[in-house]
Structure 1
């Protein structure tokens, strides 16, 4: 049995090393190229649906220019973006309004009881900052009289080749209903008559997918797991991490805390390296023997000074990860209480996946430690080493990028 475990461990370690080498040359963001569309939907008068859209400016320029064959928009708009010229960006949108509107209205639609609504620009363009420039435009959709409206988006699809998995966060006060929805390529539309369960599932799934798709957060969790010798340690560490990132996530959603992504992302990368490196340092300094890895030892039921120190570090970095989770949805101002409820569901999705991963992986690690302490030593040490290296690579990349 021990031989089998050693061979399986070696295979897992080889896979991790290959993965690290592949990802080392990847994007420092670790979440992949993606974007979030924001839409606030209201009805100022009967027969009119007003949609206030916020779209990532440079993505809107290149997508609209490419789709409509408007090279002048690309040259003018991209030049203003490169120069950080916000007034110039507004001029580019205004000068090429037909191109922008043709692109947006073909991909963001409103229907009333299944009948199409006709869009028109309301007011002028503006450009604001959400760490990166976002174009703001408002569309008025003239609709037939109806009791139910459907909102659909296919903005910035994967097929354009610029981003993947674009998400749209929509808040609405329409048809005597208030709510919010999270749309993506798998669920590109919703009805104002959606149920509470559907709203819950939207944001729960969004949170779960964010954790599973965020390799940096997964590696941080892996560092917590391999650095914990017994169930008490991993439970306390996970609880500290959960409490910390939940606090900053809610504070960000309330608009009480705003930290630039240029600071948050490097610190998240550094947290991965520090927490994983903590385990490596412990292995070297203590010269752990096979008996040190025995999870049944009653002498380790309480945390020592080093354990509490690790817990404090995890909690501190958890505060920063909470800002990273908030940044995934572009939270940088106080939002409605309706949307705040949905964001809390988003956080529940994150926590559920995190707990599930611990429940599945930690017992397996305990089994390996009991059957083959030496294999467990090499397994946890190598995983910690790979995670440390990845964290340091991302830290350098993100500092350079910011």
Structure 2
């Protein structure tokens, strides 16, 4: 076997192995391997600030119960979770308020010029939905030194060491100390100051956007379906551009609060988009029959999209609009308009696009090489990838419709 063939086949095997990992992982929601905490910080009376924390309900129950060795919280909390009973979920947390508050305040803190602010719990915990997942909303007031003009927020909620999730992000929006903006915290960058430089905040959002696409398995599978179904460079460039324009529009509109579509609608449609785009390529292989290999390899000449190609672009654009809503839902910023917020959102989106273009730049040339060197293997490779991706999309679609 020629060296180039061995290299190409090894590449295809590697891609197939990655697909298998994705398929075996397959969560019902796109972002089930990590969690996101939402923190909104506003000014109160002099010397006081208020934080509204949104924490994933089931994680809060198991983490607080484990931290305080509170078996009754675990039993009541998990029973309410299994019953999908928001009132029961709130009652379980409020009935064990001391355990919940101690867990949270040990891992989330506010300081002012090195001096710790003292937390006070405000009101009962309430239950809301975020990306179709129950979240517990907890209000805390913090008493800080008088005339404090700079605050530092630190979050270590749901750390990797608890083993329940990995890579927890805390998305902070704030309007205090005469400043407003957003910040993204994780284990590598667990704190931020309201005096933080603008470029530090933007760097965090760029990394957050990049990591979000990398950990969003359904978005990656959609991208792989686009790559597998594109036969020439211009085709994948047009498809990727269509997808980017569409999801950028709805991402910005939703993140700024101008569009609001529930996750119960967005998540099933995202899953369906994966199945449709991957299935489109399988249908094309079946329709072309004996000419499929020839068309896959190309043969030079001027390339123009046919009617099916333009329809495919339209479908990709429409599904891109829905994926943008998914990106915005995961970011979860609830903040009044500001230029700082706008730039943070743009940088987050640039992080997404950077990873998307990197995946295309790595995977598409390898598939092109395979199609030219071994046309039949190339056809089988893209067919297998598309079949696996389409099947996974259908599985997720059924799961998300049923709420499982």
TM-score strictly above 0.5: yes
CA distance in 1, matches of 2:393, 2:114: 50
Gaps of 5+ in 1: none
1:136 corresponds to which residue? 137
> Residues 54 and 322 (structure 1 numbering): CA distance in 2 closer, same or farther, change over 3 Å?
same
1:320 corresponds to which residue? 322
Question: In the TM superposition, what is the alpha-carbon distance from 1:308 to its structure 2 partner?
Answer: 0.6
> Residues 254 and 45 (structure 1 numbering): CA distance in 2 closer, same or farther, change over 3 Å?
same
Deviations 1:339-379 (A, max 9, x none): 34422321121112112222333334334444443443333
Residue aligned with 2:41, SS = strand
Question: In the TM superposition, what is the alpha-carbon distance from 1:335 to its structure 2 partner?
Answer: 4.9
Deviations 1:150-196 (A, max 9, x none): 10011111222222211111111222221110111221111111111
Q: What is the number of equivalent residue pairs in this alignment? A: 399
2:80 corresponds to which residue? 80
1:12 corresponds to which residue? 11
| CA contact 2:22–2:217 (8 Å) conserved in 1 | no
From 271, 274, 277, give the equivalent of 1:272: 274
CA distance in 1, matches of 2:384, 2:53: 47
1:31 corresponds to which residue? 31
CA distance in 2, matches of 1:37, 1:345: 20
Deviating more after overlay: 59-68 vs 19-28: 19-28
Question: In the TM superposition, what is the alpha-carbon distance from 1:102 to its structure 2 partner?
Answer: 0.7
1:119 aligns with 2:122: no
From 204, 213, 216, give the equivalent of 2:215: 213
2:304 corresponds to which residue? 302
1:53 corresponds to which residue? 53
1:262 corresponds to which residue? 264
1:382 corresponds to which residue? 384
- Summarize the alignment of residues 3-402 of structure 1 with structure 2, pairs less than 5 Å apart: 3-26=2-25, 27-130=27-130, 131-145=132-146, 146-286=148-288, 287-288=290-291, 291-295=294-298, 297-299=300-302, 301-330=303-332, 335-337=336-338, 338-402=340-404
| CA contact 1:207–1:350 (8 Å) conserved in 2 | yes
> Residues 219 and 85 (structure 1 numbering): CA distance in 2 closer, same or farther, change over 3 Å?
closer
| CA contact 1:5–1:368 (8 Å) conserved in 2 | no
Question: Normalising by the residue count of structure 2, what TM-score does the alignment of the two structures yield?
Answer: 0.89
> Residues 221 and 24 (structure 1 numbering): CA distance in 2 closer, same or farther, change over 3 Å?
closer
Deviations 1:64-111 (A, max 9, x none): 111111222223333333334434333333332211111111010111
Residue aligned with 1:187, SS = coil
Deviating more after overlay: 173-182 vs 131-140: 131-140
Question: In the TM superposition, what is the alpha-carbon distance from 1:277 to its structure 2 partner?
Answer: 2.0
Question: In the TM superposition, what is the alpha-carbon distance from 1:296 to its structure 2 partner?
Answer: 5.6
Point out 4+ residue stretches in structure 1 off by more than 6 angstroms. none
> Residues 279 and 92 (structure 1 numbering): CA distance in 2 closer, same or farther, change over 3 Å?
closer
CA distance in 1, matches of 2:213, 2:154: 25
| CA contact 1:151–1:191 (8 Å) conserved in 2 | yes
CA distance in 2, matches of 1:40, 1:320: 26
Question: In the TM superposition, what is the alpha-carbon distance from 1:294 to its structure 2 partner?
Answer: 4.4
Residue aligned with 2:2, SS = helix
Residue aligned with 1:288, SS = helix
CA distance in 1, matches of 2:335, 2:13: 46
> Residues 392 and 5 (structure 1 numbering): CA distance in 2 closer, same or farther, change over 3 Å?
farther
CA distance in 1, matches of 2:378, 2:24: 29
Deviating more after overlay: 272-281 vs 285-294: 285-294
| CA contact 1:295–1:366 (8 Å) conserved in 2 | no
CA RMSD, Structure 1 to Structure 2 (Å) = 2.5
> Residues 396 and 91 (structure 1 numbering): CA distance in 2 closer, same or farther, change over 3 Å?
closer
Gaps of 5+ in 2: none
Question: In the TM superposition, what is the alpha-carbon distance from 1:138 to its structure 2 partner?
Answer: 1.8
